[in-house]
Amino acid sequence: MAARTSPPVGTPEGLGRAPGLRERKKQQTRDALVQAAHLLFLSQGFARTTVDEIASAVDVSQRTFFRYFANKDEVALAVMAEAEDYFIECLRHRPAEETPLQALRASIVKAWRDLGNDRASGPGSISSALELLRIIEDTPALLAAHLRRVTEQERLVVEVLAEREGLDPAEDLRPVVLAAVFGSLVRSAHLSWTAEQEPAGPEGMVAVIERHFDQLGPALAGHWRP
Amino acid sequence: MAARTSPPVGTPEGLGRAPGLRERKKQQTRDALVQAAHLLFLSQGFARTTVDEIASAVDVSQRTFFRYFANKDEVALAVMAEAEDYFIECLRHRPAEETPLQALRASIVKAWRDLGNDRASGPGSISSALELLRIIEDTPALLAAHLRRVTEQERLVVEVLAEREGLDPAEDLRPVVLAAVFGSLVRSAHLSWTAEQEPAGPEGMVAVIERHFDQLGPALAGHWRP
DNA sequence: GAGATTATGTTAGCCTCTGACAATCGGCAA
DNA sequence: TTGCCGATTGTCAGAGGCTAACATAATCTC
């Protein structure tokens, strides 16, 4: 959550003064590590890539790698983490008239679309994120770490939702429940997208997500059989 | 998913002939490992317990430990895994008249209640499971592994649901969506139970779960503000 | 009881991750 | 510029998770 490649679209982060050489170098190293790691993961898989390889691809010591990332998982999840942060930002700016569920749906769709438009390629790009998502889904260790991250993000969603509606999340279970439902909906959309031959790219993902949302009502409806 | 302490309540598993000495010994070793691990985790925490400690507490080599459990996580999640299997069994036996959502709710409540009644204490007991749940929730590595297991269990739920209703899960998204919603509901119930001073024991857990289910409708309802 | 299976122990080693200390680099002021 | 201070990095050493390979010992089957 510390330093990021480039400020997510729409976030006012260009305020701080010029960062200074030291900061810039750190950012460079971090970016280089992420990119090198992704290339290696993509070509050889996550498990068969050692931290030493990543570090020496960027010409830093292994020790330095671990000063940037707490563990090997983190470097793989870095891009996704950024996307998730942007989603939260979107949610914060949804108009108050929207239903909580509507706001969530609109935010996630907007997040994927914006990231798709603004950063079509390059490191930290949307396509990297999507490629990574594939790797994550079929690397047990990564999937586990990712799921944990997601549930932490859910806690944030609860806060935003509660504040939006002026509720105390400790008293009212609705934000908690809705956040949980939303999270699982998105995840099962990811799963579909990864598994099936969905149209690739952010638009494909958006389509899958919309389809899942549309099934929420029917799924909860009484009986399924006609 | 291989060998289990004792057949979960209600499962017809006493069919296979007498297991033979070899099998029995394996079972003993496995149980002993689980129990030793739990005691150590409870007293010193998960991270500060080494596999060597667990192994030598049972007087086997480290290598043998890893032949029973793929990794340190697995021995911690063993009891929970058993409970989850039993839940699936319950779901399979729900009457067809019930709504899918009703069936899920009834199954999870029944699962906790039965396990609470039948195995009040001892290794693999319900209280062990609940104690473990606490440890899981605040040990990041374990939580991650647990979440991954849960999502795999969700896949099973999808199958059972689809079969129950005679649907093809590849075509119809409703089972997938409902399983996801259900999973997240249960998880956020676990979270509440762990975090707050809910009445301990299985009955407390059941109460929390029911409360969460009751909020599903309201959470999805249009606007929350009156 | 002999031979085939299977579980266990031993050893050696890779890899992830951390602590400790020394060397180096950037920021800043005299 | 120079020199100091704090931050970043490298090096070294080591604990701990996990696996391959081979040897040994136990159980099972006939």
b/e burial code for range B68-88 (CB count within 10 A of at least 16 → b): bbeebbbbbbbbbbbbbbbbb
The burial class, CB within 10 Å (0-12 / 13-18 / 19+), for A156 is: middle
Residue B64 contacts strand C, CB under 7 A: yes
Question: Which one-letter amino acid corresponds to residue A63?
Answer: R
Residue range A30-73, pLDDT digits in tens: 999 999 999 999 999 999 999 999 999 999 999 999 999 999 99
| B101 to A220: CB separation less than 8 angstroms, yes or no | yes
Does the beta carbon of A3 lie under 8 angstroms from any beta carbon of chain B? no
CB pairs A-B closer than 8 Å: 113
Nucleotides of D under 7 A from a protein CB: 7-13, 16-21, 27-29
- Could you give the CA distance from residue A164 to residue A146 in angstroms, rounded to a whole number? 27
Nucleotide with minimal C1' distance from the CA of B50 is: D16
pLDDT at A12: 35
| B177 to A212: CB separation less than 8 angstroms, yes or no | yes
Residue B28 contacts strand C, CB under 7 A: no
Residue A70 contacts strand C, CB under 7 A: yes
Give the distance between the most distant pair of CA atoms in chain B: 67
| A144 to B147: CB separation less than 8 angstroms, yes or no | yes
Residue range B32-67, pLDDT digits in tens: 999 999 999 999 999 999 999 999 999 999 999 999
Q: Average pLDDT of A174-182?
A: 88
| B184 to A188: CB separation less than 8 angstroms, yes or no | no
Residue A17 contacts strand C, CB under 7 A: no
b/e burial code for range B172-211 (CB count within 10 A of at least 16 → b): bbbbbbbbbbbbbbbbbbbbbbbeeebeeebebbbebbee
pLDDT at A43: 93
> Cα angle at A215 between A210 and A216, to 5 degrees?
100
Q: Which of A3-12, A110-119, A196-205 has the largest mean confidence?
A: A110-119
Residue A29 contacts strand C, CB under 7 A: no
- Could you give the CA distance from residue A125 to residue A189 in angstroms, rounded to a whole number? 20
| B225 to A180: CB separation less than 8 angstroms, yes or no | no
pLDDT at B5: 38
Element (H, E) at B121: none
Interface test with B, best of A74, A164, A184 (most B CBs within 10 A): A184
Secondary structure of residue B49 in the 3-state scheme = coil
pTM given for the model: 0.88
Confidence band of B195 (pLDDT split at 50, 70, 90): confident
Nucleotides of C under 7 A from a protein CB: 6-11, 14-20, 26-28
Is the separation of the CB atoms in A181 and B184 below 8 Å? Answer: yes
Give helix then strand counts, H and E, for chain B.
10, 0
SS3 sequence, A162-202?
HHHHCCCCCCCCHHHHHHHHHHHHHHHHHHHHHHCCCCCHH
Give the distance between the most distant pair of CA atoms in chain A: 67
